Amino acid sequence: MLNNHGLYLYKYLDHQWTDEYRRPFIVQVDGQIAGFVLMILDVPKEYTKLSSSEKTHVVSDFFIMRKYRRKGVGRKVAYSLFEQFTGTWEIRQTLANKPAYAFWKQVISQYKPNNSYQEKILQDEKWNGPVFVFEI
């Protein structure tokens, strides 16, 4: 979330460059910054709860600037990440973020046709919202 000064407040932002299991990505379009993705790779099963796999990739944050939305940028970025990091994926959205839910539902269902993904609702002390789980 951006504050009044345009700064992105995220508790673990510095950790993106120091923790081996985290991966930060800057999204560029024609040499201009268009967004970013923060990922956690190989999260152990006991922390994800929804996957039967031993380790899961999790998208922590996925942001595309408004002027680049609805132009296929987010889909291309998501597909590129799926192809780079094979295995089990878990992508969460908050209940209130309807645009994110619609985006991920469309992207995942196009990438994983024939409904070869699971959609679950997780409600616990750490998360409340839909989660897509799938294998690549």
pLDDT tens for residues 64-111? 999 999 999 999 999 999 999 999 999 999 989 999 999 999 999 999
Closest to 27 measured CA to CA, from 19, 39, 14: 39
The number of domains in the chain is: 1
In a domain, 49, yes or no: yes
Exposed / middle / buried, residue 98 (Cβ in 10 Å: 0-12, 13-18, 19+): exposed
Output the pLDDT for position 21: 79
Question: What is the per-residue pLDDT for 134?
Answer: 93
Most distant CA atoms of the chain, gap in Å? 44
pLDDT at 4 over 60: yes
Res. 124: pLDDT tops 80: yes
DSSP state of 36: E
Residue 10 lies in a domain: no
- Three-state SS at 72: coil
The first and second tokens of residue 51, run together, are 């996957």
pLDDT in tens, 41-61: 988 776 666 677 778 999 989
pTM as predicted: 0.83
CATH number at residue 33: 3.40.630.30
The boundaries of the domain holding residue 102 are 25-135
Select from 25, 129, 34 the least CA-distant residue to 82: 25
Q: What Rg do the C-alpha atoms of the chain give, in angstroms?
A: 15
Q: Is residue 5 part of a domain?
A: no
